[in-house]
């Protein structure tokens, strides 16, 4: 049974963003007419929103994972999906939170640090509470966390300066939303079908702190025996695997799918999903029966349990 997700990320120390400039607007240049034509063609080929279960007319192109997660906004080729306005709107705050999380890499280079600081300024403007939750720990909490992760401060450094940050509730929500969308997106990409309303998605996510504490991601190890295939993710010759990598696998009968995703060296998630109503629920019941525990290591993002 995997241990509980450790609610910390071991991140770099990013200087606080007091001198916010309020700028950061970009101007879209280039041939707007051509861009519109390309979008119209895309929506003609993919007329239905893939995120709300079929039925809604797609009016927008959605990048999933969001472009904000990638350096220079260079997203992996082929990860653009048809979405209705309602599904595409309203996730920008969540996109920002996951983009910021993905920069919290203890081995970040200068460009990643600069990008992290830029995103941090944006989070500070739009969601100051999130930063407060992440970076505020008492000396006692900081010491307990550091000891659990086997970290020691250098002479003259405090435990609070070690770079262990709390995972705020906003991050749990944002990762859930990202996992739900990416699961449906990859399902569409691989099967050509829209994930149905009655389908189920089970989910668990993990951070680099969990790996430090336990020496490995227990969940990924448990899943590693299942056959998987990896796709190279490139755009314009640039290898994006250091930012976004995934393994997708399907059971022989095609009813059970699994997606394992990592974003850099910071966090990742696993979803197990099925288009067959009740399939995951039955699997979860088996797990509970076998382990004699009422607790499942997974959380349901989508289920039709209890629905008529
Ligand atoms: Zn939709």
| Structure confidence by residue, pLDDT tens digits, 215-245 | 766 666 666 655 555 666 776 767 788 888 8
Residues 173-209 as b/e (b if ≥16 CB within 10 A, e otherwise) read ebbbbbbbbbbbbbbbbeeeebbbeebbbbbbbbbbb
Does one domain contain both 120 and 246?
no
Does one domain contain both 213 and 242?
yes
H-helix or E-strand containing 275?
Answer: none
Residue 140: pLDDT above 80? Answer: yes
Q: How far is the CA of 143 from the centre of ligand 1 (A)?
A: 45
Q: How far is the CA of 213 from the centre of ligand 1 (A)?
A: 39
Residues near 292 by beta carbon (within 8 Å), at least 6 away in sequence? none
DSSP track, 60-110: EEEESS-GGGSGGG-PPTT-EEEE-HHHHTT-HHHHHHHHHHHT--TT--H
Q: How far is the CA of 89 from the centre of ligand 1 (A)?
A: 10
Does one domain contain both 12 and 139?
yes
Q: How far is the CA of 27 from the centre of ligand 1 (A)?
A: 28
**C-alpha to C-alpha distance for 273 and 257, rounded to whole angstroms:** 5
Q: Give the residue carrying structure tokens 């063609």.
A: 41
Name the range with the highest mean pLDDT among 102-111, 135-144, 268-277: 268-277
Residue 188: pLDDT above 50? Answer: yes
pTM score, whole prediction: 0.81
Average pLDDT over all residues of the chain? 80
Judge whether 3 lies within some domain: no
Judge whether 24 lies within some domain: no
Does one domain contain both 159 and 13?
yes
Does one domain contain both 253 and 297?
yes
List the domain range (segments joined by +) for residue 201.
Answer: 171-302
Q: How many separate domains does the chain show?
A: 2
Residues near 110 by beta carbon (within 8 Å), at least 6 away in sequence? none
Q: How far is the CA of 88 from the centre of ligand 1 (A)?
A: 7
Question: Pick from 125, 142, 166: which residue ends a domain?
Answer: 166
Q: What pLDDT, in 10s, does the model give residues 83-93?
A: 999 998 877 88
Does one domain contain both 78 and 116?
yes
Does one domain contain both 72 and 196?
no
Give the strand pairing for 80-83 and 245-250.
Answer: unpaired
Q: How far is the CA of 54 from the centre of ligand 1 (A)?
A: 8
Question: Pick from 118, 138, 166: which residue ends a domain?
Answer: 166
């Amino acid at each position: 049974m995997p241990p509980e997700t450790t609610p910390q990320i071991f991140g770099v120390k990013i200087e606080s963003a007091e001198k916010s400039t309020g700028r950061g607007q970009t101007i879209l240049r280039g041939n707007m007419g051509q861009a519109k034509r390309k979008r119209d063609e895309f929506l003609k080929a993919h007329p239905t929103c893939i995120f709300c279960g079929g039925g809604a007319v797609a009016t927008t192109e959605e990048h999933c994972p969001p472009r904000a997660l990638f350096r220079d906004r260079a997203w992996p080729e082929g990860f653009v999906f048809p979405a209705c306005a309602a599904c595409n709107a309203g996730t920008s705050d969540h996109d920002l939170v996951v983009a910021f999380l993905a920069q919290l890499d203890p081995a970040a280079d200068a460009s990643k640090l600069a990008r992290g600081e830029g995103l941090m300024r944006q989070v500070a403007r739009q969601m100051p509470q999130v930063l407060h939750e992440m970076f505020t720990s008492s000396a006692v909490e900081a010491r307990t966390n550091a000891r659990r992760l086997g970290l020691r401060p250098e002479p003259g450094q405090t435990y609070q300066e070690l770079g262990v940050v709390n995972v705020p509730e906003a991050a749990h929500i944002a990762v859930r939303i990202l996992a739900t969308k990416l699961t449906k997106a990859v399902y569409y990409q691989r099967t050509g079908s829209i994930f149905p309303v009655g389908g189920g998605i089970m989910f668990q996510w993990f951070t680099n702190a969990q790996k430090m504490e336990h020496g490995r991601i227990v969940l990924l190890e448990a899943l590693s025996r299942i056959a998987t295939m990896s796709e190279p993710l490139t755009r314009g010759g640039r290898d994006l695997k250091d930012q976004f990598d995934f393994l997708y696998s399907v059971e022989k009968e095609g009813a059970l799918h699994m997606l394992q995703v990592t974003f850099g060296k910071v966090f990742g998630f696993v979803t197990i999903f099925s288009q067959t109503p009740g399939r995951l629920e039955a699997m979860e019941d088996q797990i509970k029966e076998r382990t004699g525990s009422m607790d499942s290591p997974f959380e349901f993002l989508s289920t039709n349990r209890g629905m008529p």
